[in-house]
Amino acid sequence: MNDENKLREQICLLAKSIYDRGLTGGSTGNISSRTSDGGLLVSPTGTSFGRLDPNKLSRFDSKGVFISGDIPTKEMPLHSAFYETRSTAGAVVHLHSCHSVALSLMPDVDEDDFLPHLTPYSIMKLGRVKLLPFYMPGDPEMGKAVRGLAGKRSAIMLANHGPVVAGKDIEAACNAIEELEDTARLAMMTRGMNARLLNASQVKSIVKKFDVEWDS
């Protein structure tokens, strides 16, 4: 099996794991990864994470030209924006995960630092998560909003919609977006309970020790 075939299988395996654990349902969500030649493999439009076919993934060449497979997700402008602004982006995942969406509906969340500092792991894997406003699904303006961040964020939360995370490879991106959902779940579980958050000194120590991107 060549490297691209292995990547196709890995994308479908990780997507199915996400689907099987209820992190995105129906035909929601989309996933993409860089290929060794600088192209992209992308989940097709209207497909379920639970039933992706490795042979039908949308294939783009290194110039961004669609060359084979089924029609790609309508959220391509969102994926492209991450690849164009973050040189370290090797994969992008977008889900409609329940708890992160629920947290985005709350009136008092910090738009510049969406996730409360409950554990070290969301800080380590995601840095600061930017909450963006609501856009219609497929709206190219989402891509423009990501470009406006100038590559400073690896993760965003689309209000009333779902999270989007870029990682160095497909496994890292999936792990990070799962951490985002887990942290959002903890935030909703402890909401109104006066939970003890990590303090500023602790957060600073985590950022320094693990060399986290943490724009001020």
The residue with tokens 């590559």 is 151
Which residue type occupies 142? M
Considering the domain 3-209 in this protein, what is its CATH number? 3.40.225.10
CA distances from 98 to 105, 158, 159, 160 (A): 11, 13, 12, 10
The total number of residues written for the chain in this structure:
216
pLDDT digits (tens, 9 = 90+) for 25-83: 999 999 999 999 999 999 999 999 999 999 999 999 999 999 999 999 999 999 999 99
Paired with 30 in beta bridges are 94
pLDDT digits (tens, 9 = 90+) for 9-37: 999 999 999 999 999 999 999 999 999 99
The residue with tokens 């490879």 is 169
CA distances from 132 to 18, 44, 91, 122 (A): 23, 24, 20, 18
Say what the pTM is.
0.96
Would you kindly state where each structural domain of the chain is located, as residue ranges? 3-209
Catalytic residue list: 75, 121
